[in-house]
Copies of this chain bind each other. A is one copy, B any other.
């Protein structure tokens, strides 16, 4: 098993901390808003995470893709459901999505393996 998960979480936490300390109010407000838009509302959290994943995939943001993969697994998205989202993303966005899909599958497989082994998927690294 590779350590993509831990590398991802640690760089993310360290830099979010650094950016927070810089003290720009608008950036802090954006980060807060970014966290709350996925909370349960008319749509449940699982659906919102699938939508956030789709948005990230289409805009080819590998770190955002990874973030939503972790959340989707926490919400119980199965590997069949995951590949159906990838299929839609592939047909809407074309073959240029393939490299992002390859990396997303590597990361999904690793995170699912962590879950099955009872390892933490906590992105706060307490």
Contacts and interface: CB of A to CB of B under 8 A. Distances in A.
Interface of A: 11-12, 15-16, 18-19, 22-24, 26-27, 29-30, 33-34, 36-38, 41-43, 47-48, 50-52, 54-59, 61-64, 78-81, 83-99, 101-102, 105-106, 109
B42 A87 contact: no
A99 B47 CA distance: 24
Nearest to A81: B42
13 contacts: A12-B102, A22-B83, A26-B37, A26-B87, A26-B90, A27-B90, A43-B81, A43-B85, A54-B54, A55-B57, A55-B58, A59-B92, A92-B94
Contact of A95 (B41, B92, B109): B92
A105 B15 contact: yes
Contacts of A43: 81, 84-85
Stoichiometry, as copies per complex, reads 6
Nearest first, the 4 closest Cβ-Cβ pairs linking A and B are: A94-B94, A42-B80, A15-B102, A63-B99
A41 to B, nearest CB: 5
Nearest to A90: B30
